[in-house]
Structure 1
Amino acid sequence: MESRPQWLDWAVELQALAQAGLEYGHDKFDLERYARIREISAEIMAQHTGLPLEEVKDLFCGESGYQTPKLDTRAAVFQGEKILLVQESDGLWALPGGWSDVDITVGENAVKEVKEEAGLDVTVRRVIALQDQHRRNRPMSPYGVCKVLVLCDRTGGSFQPNLETLDSRYFSLDELPPLATGKTTEEQIRLCFEAHHAEHWTTLLD
C-alpha cells in the first residue's frame, strides 16, 4: 500500500489542533481563528477526496473534545480454508464489522457485528492487528481510524436477512470477490489467513 499522503497528515493535524483549541480556548477571537482553521482542514479534505464540503464538515468537524481515532472492528471467521465475508449494499464484500460502540468492548463489538451482519455466533480468539486505516485502505476517510482485526471462532448460527448486508459466504484466498477496499483489502485478508494458521501469533501494530 502506498504511503499516507502529506496533505492528509496536514489536514488531520489542522483539524485536531483546531478541535482542541475550540474545546480548551477561551478568548473569543482565538475561537474564531480555531473555527476558521477547522474550516480550512475540511476544505483541504474535500478538495483531495472529491467529497462535498458539507459532508466532510459533518464527518470531519462534528465532534468536540480532544481528537482521537475512531475504532473499526473487523472479524475474521474461518470455515476450513475459507474466510467469511459479507456483501454490502453496494454489492462489494468485506469482513463483517463496523464502528465500535461506546458502551461495549472491542471484543464484544466484534461478536455483535458478526451476529448482526452474518447471523453467526462467535467467540474472540485473538487480536490479529491494529492498523492505521489511512495507510492500509482506499478510499481514505476524512477522519483518523484504527482498524482492529480480530480472529473469531464460530459456535453456531446462520445468515439471516438484515438491514446491513445482502449475503454472507466463505471464500478461499484465491477466489476472493470484489472487495469494499475502504473496509477490507486483500492484504488484510491474507494477514487473517496467516494468523489463523499460526500456532503462536504476536499482534501487529502500525
Structure 2
Amino acid sequence: MMPAPSDQELLKARLAQARRLLALAQSGLHYATSAFDKERYAEIAGIAHQQLAAMASMQAGDVAALFAPETGYANPKLDVRCAVFNQAGQILLVREAVDNLWSLPGGWADVGVSPAENAAKEVREESGYTVNVVRLLAVWDMLKHGHPPSVFHIWKLVFLGEIVQAGEISGAETDAAQFFDIDDLPALSTGRILPEQIRRLDELRNNSDVEFD
C-alpha cells in the first residue's frame, strides 16, 4: 500500500497545476486573435489566480498584479547566483534585508547583461566584493529540489566567482555579507538556496563538472 502524500507534497502538486494553468492562459492570450478566445483565456487566468491566492493566503487581485508583468509566451523565471569562496574554503553569503536570512548573492536575471555579468553585478551590489566569474557550476530546476513551494517556476544558474577586491554593499536588498564554513552555515533563506546545494557547490568547484537538471 502506497503511503499517503504529505501536506507539503499535496501543496506542491496543486501549485504545479495552477502554475501550468496560468502558463497556458498566458501563452493563449499572447497567440489568440479572436475576442472570444482572449475572453476565455482571461477567464482561465482568473481561475489560476484564485487557486494560487488560496494556496499563498493572498488576494486574487494581488496575485494578478504579481503576474501582470509576465506577458508573451510563458517561460520559467531565471534566478542567477554566484558562489564565492575565500582561501580558507569558506563561502560568501549575504543577509537578505527582507527576512534576515542568508543566501548566495544573486537575484532575477536582468535584461541587457549576460548571465555571468548579472552574477558579478549582484555580488558587487549585495556584498561589496568585485569578482571574476570563472565558470558555471550548476543549473537547477527549483521544482526538483527541496525548496518551499513557490508561485513561480524558477530555474537557478550558479556561477563560480573569484575575488578581485573588497568594497561596500551598494544595494538595498542585503544588509550584511560574511564568509562561513561549509559545515557551520547560518539560517538560510531556503526559498533561495539550500544547505545541501551549498555543499554540492563546494564539491563542484573542485572538479570540472557542471550539474544540471
- CA RMSD, aligned part only? 2.0
Specify every segment of 5 or more residues in structure 2 that has no aligned partner in the other structure, as ranges: 1-7
The 8 Å contact of residues 124 and 169 in structure 2, kept in 1 or not, is answered as no
**TM-score, normalised with respect to structure 2:** 0.88
Equivalence for 1:181:
190
Deviation for aligned residue 1:58: 1.9
Deviation for aligned residue 1:13: 1.5
- Partner of 1:174: helix, strand, or coil? coil
Q: Output the CA distance in 2 between the equivalents of 1:162 and 1:16.
A: 32
Amino acid at match of 1:178: A
Q: Output the CA distance in 2 between the equivalents of 1:133 and 1:47.
A: 22
Number of residue pairs matched by the alignment: 204
Deviation for aligned residue 1:166: 1.1
Equivalence for 1:193:
202
Amino acid at match of 2:136: V
- Partner of 1:197: helix, strand, or coil? coil
Mapping of residues 34-183 of structure 1, within 5 Å: 34-79=41-86, 80-89=88-97, 90-136=99-145, 138-160=147-169, 162-183=171-192
Deviation for aligned residue 1:50: 2.3
- Partner of 1:76: helix, strand, or coil? strand
Q: Output the CA distance in 1 between the equivalents of 2:27 and 2:60.
A: 21
1:50-72 CA-to-partner distances (Å, cap 9, x unmatched) read 23322321223432110111111
Q: Output the CA distance in 2 between the equivalents of 1:47 and 1:128.
A: 36
Deviation for aligned residue 1:161: 5.6
Amino acid at match of 1:119: G
1:28-84 CA-to-partner distances (Å, cap 9, x unmatched) read 122111001011111111222223322321223432110111111111000122000
Equivalence for 2:22:
15
Q: Percent identity?
A: 40
